[in-house]
Structure 1
Amino acid sequence: MEMVEIVLLTVLVFFVIVSIHEWGHFYFAKRAGILVREFAIGFGPKLFSVQRGETRYTLRLIPAGGFVRMAGEDPETVEIQPGQTIAVRLVNDRVTRLYLDRLDERSNVIRGEVESVDLERSLKLALHVEGERERYDVHPAAIMIARGRETQIAPIDRQFGSKTVGQRALAIFAGPLMNFILAFALFMVYIQMAGVPMENPDRILVGSFVDDKESPAAKAGLKVGDEIRTINGQNIGVDVDKMLALIGSSGGKQMEWTVIRDGKPVNISITPVPDGENVGKVGIYPAYPSRAATFTETFAFGAKAMKNMTINIFEGFKMLILGQFELDDLGGPVKTAQVTSQIAAQGIEQLTSWTAVLSLYLGIFNLLPIPALDGSRLIFLGVEAVRGRPVDPNRESMVHFIGFAMLMLLMLAVTYNDILNLIQG
C-alpha cells in the first residue's frame, strides 16, 4: 500500500471515530433544543472554520479529540451592562443585531445608552435614545457583535442547564454511545470482509504479513492468498504446527517453499530471520480458507468481539491503576497514529478491525469518572438528580478545568515519549 494512501487512511480513522463521538453530543443536544455554538475536531488554534446555521464547525491543530460547545455550559464571554452605549438594528420592530463597539461605523442602526437588558428570559431591551426611553423586543436568535466576533444570544430555554437531567444526560452519554455503535458495526463489517474459516479446510494460506516490506516472506515474493503446499519438500496440508516447527528450526537457513498461486505451483526461496531465542520467523500470519459469514454469525461475532475487547481494555485500566506499567507502555496520539499506519499497511480488513477497537476504547475511556470527561459530567448529573438541585456551576467548572489540565499534561508527557522513541527507533 502506498505511503500517501496509508497516511490518508490513518487520518481518516481518527477523523471518523472523533467525529462520530462529537456528532452524538451534537445531535441529541439539538434534539433537546440546546443551542450548539461550536462543533470542533481537535483542540488548540483553529485551522479551518465555517459557520452553518447556529453552529460553527472548526478543525483545530491538536488531533487529540474534539468538543461540542453548548450554550450555558460555560459563562458567556460577551455581556451587556446598564450604562453601556450600544447600537441595535431592528427588523419588524425587533432587535436582530446588537453592536457593542465601533459604533460610528454602523449604519441603519439606533444608538443609545442601556437602561436595562434581559437577553435570557424576557428578551427585552430598554435604551435612552436622544433623551427618550425606548423599549424593544429582542429576537431569540439575535446576534451580538463585538471585536469583530459574532455571538448568537442564548435564551434560557436554549441553554444546557435549562433542560431536564435526562435530556442533559442523554446529550452527554450519546458521544460514547455513538462510539459503541460504530465499533459494533465495524466488527460486523470486518467479519463480512474476512469471512469465517471453513469447517473442514484442506489447505493453509498466507493470511497477511507482519510487515508488508520488511518481512522475509514479503521480500522473497510470497503474496497474500498463496496456498502453502510444501516446505523443504515436506507436504504441509493443514498442519500449522508442522509449518511453524520447520520455520522455527531454520533461523538463518534458506528454505525452499512451493506455493499454489492462480492454480499454478510457484517455487520460492525464503530465509527465516532468527529472533532473540534463535527461533526462525518469516513474518506471515497463516490462515485457512474462509467462507462468507451468515447474518447470525456476523451479529454473534460483533457481540463477542465487543465483549472480549471490553474485557481487555479494562484489564489495561486495571494495570494502569495498580501501577503495573512503564511510561513506554503508554501511548499518545503519535504512537496510536504509528500503530494505525502499520495496521493500514496490512490491508483494509485489519484497519477496519483496528478502527472498531479504537472507537470502543474511546467510548469506554470517555465514560471513566475522570474530571473533564463525559463520565465525570454524568456523575455530577447523578448527584443533581439525587439532591434535587445542581452542584454549584463554578465548583463543577473548576473540577473539569483541573481534570482537563491534568489530562493535557499527561498527553504532553506520553507524546514527548512517543516522539523520543520514534526518533530513537
Structure 2
Amino acid sequence: MTIFIALVVFGVIVLFHEFGHFIVAKLCKVKVHEFAIGMGPKIASIKGKETDYSIRLLPLGGYVKMLGEDEDSEDENSFGKKSVLQRIGIIAAGPIMNFVLAILLFTVIFMLVGIPTTSIKETMKDYPAQSAGIIEGDKIIEIEGTKIEDWNQVTSIVGNSAGKSIEIKIQRAGKPMEYKVTPLEQDGRGVIGILPSSEKNLALSLKSSVERTGYILSQMMNFFATLVTGNVNTSDVVGPVGIINVVGEAARVGYLNVISLAAVISINLGLINLFPFPALDGSRILFLIIELARGKKIDPEKEGMIHFIGFALLMLLMVFITYKDIIKLIDK
C-alpha cells in the first residue's frame, strides 16, 4: 500500500509538471509527438490526433516530446522555430505547475480543516491567558502595540516572549480590553494556553496556500544553499526509496499528511528543476537566455551533448542516493 500511495503521489506531481510543458507548448502552437508519464518501456498508450499519451514502466519522471526540441526542423510548428521567450515559457511552465499544484493541495487542506483566526475558541485551565481574564470568544486585535491580522503573528510574538510580560488587547462584545500576560516556556517557546477558532474560506485558503508555498520554497532554497557550502550533512538528502518511506509514514498518520507531503515534494521538484544543471529545465532556460543575449542559437549538438552528460551524472547521483536510502532502511 505504501508503494502504491507513493506511486500515486509521484504520478500526480509528474503529471502536473509535464502538463505545464504540454499546455504552453500547445498554446504556442508547437507540435507535441508524445506526452509520457514515467520512463522506460511503454506499458499503455492512447493515440490522439497529434500526440501519443503514454504511461511508461518506471515511475521516475516523464517527458513531453516536442517537434524540433532536440533536432533541427524547418516546420513552423517545431519548438526551435518559436521565439526565445516562447521557448523559455514552455520550459519554465513545468516547474511553475509544480508550485501551482502545491498551492492547490494546501488549499484543499485549509478548506478541510479551516484556517486559524485571531478569535479564541478555548482557553486552557491554569495557563496565563485564562488566569489573566481572557475568555473564549475574545478576538485578539493587538499584542505589544503590533496590530494582529492573523494567527501566525500571535504564535510568533507569544512564542518569542517566554517569561516576559506582554500586553494583549482583545475585543469582547465590540469593546476593546487590555490584559497583561506572561507566557510560560514550553519546549523553548512561550505559550499562554489559547486555541484559535478556524474559518473555512476559499479566498483566505488560497492566500494562506500561496504564503505557505512561498515560505517552504524559501526554506528549501536556504537548505540547498547550505548544502552547496557544506554546512548540511549529505545524509539529510533522500532519494526515491527514502521518499517512499516518508510517504508511508505520512499515510499511517492520515491522508492530510500525505496531501501536505505531496505539496512539499512538488515544491522541491519544481525548485530542483530550475537549477541550471545540464538536463534540468533550468539549464535549458540558461541556454535560451544565452541565445537571447548573443543573438544566435547555440550549436544543438553541443547543447545536446552537455545535457546528455548532465543526465548521466544525475542518474549516477540517483543510484548513489538510492543506495544510501537502502542502507539507512537496513540499519533501522
- Tell me whether 1:409 sits opposite 2:313 in the alignment: no
Deviation at 1:367, TM superposition (A): 0.8
The runs of 5 or more residues in structure 2 that have no matched partner are 130-192
Deviation at 1:52, TM superposition (A): 2.2
Contact 1:10–1:340 (CA under 8 A) maintained in structure 2: yes
In the other structure, the counterpart of 2:219 is: 312
Distance in 1 (alpha carbons) for counterparts of 2:312 and 2:63:
15
Contact 1:63–1:333 (CA under 8 A) maintained in structure 2: no
In the other structure, the counterpart of 1:22 is: 18
Return closer, same or farther for 1:424/1:287 CA change in 2, 3 Å cut-off.
Answer: farther
Return closer, same or farther for 1:327/1:46 CA change in 2, 3 Å cut-off.
Answer: farther
Deviation at 1:67, TM superposition (A): 1.1
Contact 1:327–1:414 (CA under 8 A) maintained in structure 2: no
Deviation at 1:372, TM superposition (A): 0.7
Measured against aligned partners, the alpha-carbon deviations of 1:373-403 in whole angstroms (never above 9, x if no partner) come to 1111111111111111111111111111111
Paired residue secondary structure (2:122)? coil
Deviation at 1:63, TM superposition (A): 2.2
Give identity over the alignment, percent.
41
Aligned residue type for 1:420: I
Return closer, same or farther for 1:324/1:44 CA change in 2, 3 Å cut-off.
Answer: farther
Aligned counterpart for 2:121 among listed residues 173, 198, 201: 201
In the other structure, the counterpart of 2:142 is: none
In the other structure, the counterpart of 1:331 is: 238
Paired residue secondary structure (2:121)? coil
Contact 2:227–2:233 (CA under 8 A) maintained in structure 1: no
Aligned counterpart for 2:34 among listed residues 31, 38, 59: 38
Measured against aligned partners, the alpha-carbon deviations of 1:314-336 in whole angstroms (never above 9, x if no partner) come to 11101220123344211111111
Distance in 2 (alpha carbons) for counterparts of 1:296 and 1:37:
38
Distance in 1 (alpha carbons) for counterparts of 2:194 and 2:243:
26
- Tell me whether 1:189 sits opposite 2:108 in the alignment: yes
In the other structure, the counterpart of 1:261 is: none
Return closer, same or farther for 1:385/1:320 CA change in 2, 3 Å cut-off.
Answer: same
Paired residue secondary structure (1:179)? helix
- Tell me whether 1:365 sits opposite 2:236 in the alignment: no
- Tell me whether 1:166 sits opposite 2:85 in the alignment: yes
Task: Return 301-310 or 288-297, whichever deviates more.
Answer: 288-297
In the other structure, the counterpart of 2:258 is: 351
Q: Which has the higher contact order (CA 8 A, sep 6+)?
A: 2
In the other structure, the counterpart of 1:60 is: 56
Q: TM-score by structure 2 length?
A: 0.74
Q: Considering only aligned residues, what root-mean-square deviation do their CA atoms show, in Å?
A: 2.5
- Give runs of aligned pairs for residues 4-403 of structure 1, distance below 5 A: 4=1, 6-75=2-71, 156-197=75-116, 199-202=119-122, 288=195, 290-403=197-310
Aligned residue type for 1:32: C
Contact 2:106–2:260 (CA under 8 A) maintained in structure 1: yes
Distance in 2 (alpha carbons) for counterparts of 1:335 and 1:397:
31
In the other structure, the counterpart of 2:179 is: none
Distance in 2 (alpha carbons) for counterparts of 1:377 and 1:69:
15
Q: Which has the higher strand share?
A: 1
Return closer, same or farther for 1:287/1:318 CA change in 2, 3 Å cut-off.
Answer: farther
Q: TM-score by structure 1 length?
A: 0.58
Distance in 2 (alpha carbons) for counterparts of 1:288 and 1:416:
44
- Tell me whether 1:424 sits opposite 2:316 in the alignment: no
Paired residue secondary structure (1:370)? coil
Measured against aligned partners, the alpha-carbon deviations of 1:224-274 in whole angstroms (never above 9, x if no partner) come to xxxxxxxxxxx77899xxxxxxxxxxxxxxxxxxxxxxxxxxxxxxxxxxx
Q: Which has the larger radius of gyration?
A: 1
The runs of 5 or more residues in structure 1 that have no matched partner are 77-119, 121-154, 205-234, 240-285
Distance in 1 (alpha carbons) for counterparts of 2:41 and 2:329:
25
Measured against aligned partners, the alpha-carbon deviations of 1:148-196 in whole angstroms (never above 9, x if no partner) come to xxxxxxx521221111112111111111111111111222221121223
Measured against aligned partners, the alpha-carbon deviations of 1:106-161 in whole angstroms (never above 9, x if no partner) come to xxxxxxxxxxxxxx6xxxxxxxxxxxxxxxxxxxxxxxxxxxxxxxxxx5212211
Return closer, same or farther for 1:324/1:301 CA change in 2, 3 Å cut-off.
Answer: same
Distance in 2 (alpha carbons) for counterparts of 1:290 and 1:7:
37
Measured against aligned partners, the alpha-carbon deviations of 1:49-102 in whole angstroms (never above 9, x if no partner) come to 3322222222223322211111112248xxxxxxxxxxxxxxxxxxxxxxxxxx
Return closer, same or farther for 1:238/1:335 CA change in 2, 3 Å cut-off.
Answer: farther
The count of corresponding residues between Structure 1 and Structure 2 is: 268
Aligned residue type for 2:208: F
Contact 1:203–1:238 (CA under 8 A) maintained in structure 2: no
Measured against aligned partners, the alpha-carbon deviations of 1:7-51 in whole angstroms (never above 9, x if no partner) come to 443322111111010011111112222221121222223333332
Return closer, same or farther for 1:349/1:320 CA change in 2, 3 Å cut-off.
Answer: same
Q: Which has the higher helix share?
A: 2
Distance in 2 (alpha carbons) for counterparts of 1:332 and 1:287:
40
Return closer, same or farther for 1:363/1:238 CA change in 2, 3 Å cut-off.
Answer: farther
